[in-house]
Amino acid sequence: MEQRQRFTHRIHTRITAKKFEELQSLQLRSQGIKSLSELLRNILDNKKIVVLSRDASLDMFMEELSKIRQQIQAIGVNINQVTKRFHNASGAEAKLFSAMEITRLYQQTDLKVTELLGIISNLSKVWLPGS
C-alpha cells in the first residue's frame, strides 16, 4: 500500500487576478480536486486532471431522446394491454380488432424508431464529424 506523502515545504508566490480566476475555474470543473493547492500540486507533478465539461448544444437532442423514450415506453405498455385483451378475448371479431390495434401500435413504434435514428444520426454528426 502506498504511503501518504507529507507536504513539508511551503511555496509562496503571486499571480494576476486573471490567472487566479482561471485556476479557480479549472479547480471547480476538475473532478476529484478539492482545493487549489491540490490542483497546483497536480499541475507541478504533471498529473492528469480530469475536467468536466457540458455541451449545451446537446440539450435539445437529450430532450428529444427523453421524449421519444417515454413515448416508446407508453406504446409498449399499450401493446402489452392489447395483447392481454387479445388472449382473453373469446370471439374471432374481438381478436381481429385486437390484432388490428397491435398492428397500429407497431406502426407507431416504427415511426418513433425512425425518429430516434434521425436524432442519433444528427448526434453522430456532432460527436463524430469525420464519419
CATH number of residue 95's parent domain: 1.20.58
Q: Are residues 23 and 11 located together in one domain of the fold?
A: yes
Angle between helices 36-44 and 17-29 (to 10 degrees): 90
Residue 51 forms beta bridges with which residues? 30
| Residue-level pLDDT at 56 | 75
The continuous run of DSSP H or E covering 86 comes out as helix 59-88
Q: From first to last of its 131 residues, what are the pLDDT tens digits of the chain?
A: 566 778 888 888 899 999 999 999 999 888 889 999 999 999 999 999 888 777 777 788 888 888 888 999 999 999 999 999 989 988 999 999 989 999 999 999 999 999 988 888 888 877 776 65
Q: Are residues 12 and 40 located together in one domain of the fold?
A: yes
Where is the domain boundary, 11, 38, 53? 53
Q: Are residues 98 and 38 located together in one domain of the fold?
A: no
Could you tell me the end-to-end alpha-carbon distance of the chain, in angstroms, rounded to an integer?
45
For 120, phi then psi, to 5°, come to -65, -40
Where is the domain boundary, 29, 53, 77? 53
Q: Are residues 72 and 85 located together in one domain of the fold?
A: yes
| Residue-level pLDDT at 53 | 77
Q: Are residues 36 and 72 located together in one domain of the fold?
A: no
Domain membership of residue 83 as a residue range: 56-127
Amino acid identity of residue 67, one-letter, is: K
Q: Are residues 31 and 82 located together in one domain of the fold?
A: no
| Residue-level pLDDT at 84 | 93
Separation CA 7–CA 9 (nearest Å) = 6
